[in-house]
Structure 1
Amino acid sequence: MVIDSCTFTDITRHLHGISEGLLDGMRKVASLKPDAPAAEGEHHRHEWFKAVEAFVRVNAEVMTLAELLRALLAANSDELSEEERALS
């Protein structure tokens, strides 16, 4: 077994929580109005773009973790199939 089911489930649960937090944050950023008139010296548009870029970077990391979990699941499945063939 490449990864036990308890560890896999824990990682998946955390990844789901991260995804939900990311989605919630993106919804909040999307509701902001970066082009609205701002007080002198405030740079809402620039800060908005920085926040969006940060979310994009985090999303890329989340997608990488999801791909790793899929690979672990596939490896576990392959290994279990080999063990079943060896036992029969």
Structure 2
Amino acid sequence: MRLFIIVLLGLLAWLQYDFWYGKNGMNEYTAVEESVALQEKANAELHQRNQQMYAEIKDLHGGKEAVEERARTDLGLVKPGETFVRVVGDNN
């Protein structure tokens, strides 16, 4: 009977060791869980950025105001009849 109890305790110890430290054990599970949480956060940020880009694309397709704004800010274009004034400050 004692041998049977010792074998069962040994089996229990081995199963506990395998559960906590073995392949696909609890340590790996927590590491993968943290990795998944980081990836979900990165995906959420990318999804938000994509939504902003889709809104900008929709705005560019839909109206002249967005195209005009881009032309003015990025290319420095001026409408006919307008005067372009550039103010340069001191670098002090």
Using the size of structure 2 for normalisation, the TM-score is: 0.45
Larger radius of gyration: 2
Bigger RCO (CA 8 Å, 6+ sep): 1
How high is the TM-score relative to the length of structure 1? 0.46
Give the structure with the larger helix fraction.
Answer: 1
